[in-house]
Amino acid sequence: MSSLTPEDQITVLNSHKKNLNFNEYNLQVALIEENAKATPAESALSSINAQLADIAKQQAALDAEIAKITPATPTA
């Protein structure tokens, strides 16, 4: 069990999301670079696309965790 407050936990999760965003952009740049080659390597393109798909799944998992931790807003 964590001794962090829900707000602290969300801060950590958002930090991880930001790192994923940096990694995602880095991979998008790598994709541009690979596609700029006269003969892009299919294995490199496949690897980059697989990593981008993994990042999307990780982002969704972090979003789900944030949603679990975030207190529900009372309805009127």
Handedness of CA 65, 66, 71, 72 (dihedral sign): negative
Say what the pLDDT of residue 2 is: 75
Phi, psi of 13 (to 5 degrees): -60, -40
Per-residue pLDDT of the chain (76 residues; tens, 9 = 90+): 679 999 999 999 999 999 999 999 999 999 999 999 999 999 999 999 999 999 999 999 999 999 999 977 766 6
Say what the pLDDT of residue 32 is: 98
Say what the pLDDT of residue 71 is: 78
Tell me the three state secondary structure of residue 11.
Answer: helix
Say what the pLDDT of residue 1 is: 61
* Residue 55 exposure: Cα atoms within 13 Å on the Cβ side: 19
**Beta-carbon contacts of residue 14 (< 8 Å; ≥ 6 apart):** 66
The model's pTM is 0.87
Q: What is the rounded distance in angstroms from the CA atom of residue 51 to the CA atom of residue 11?
A: 24
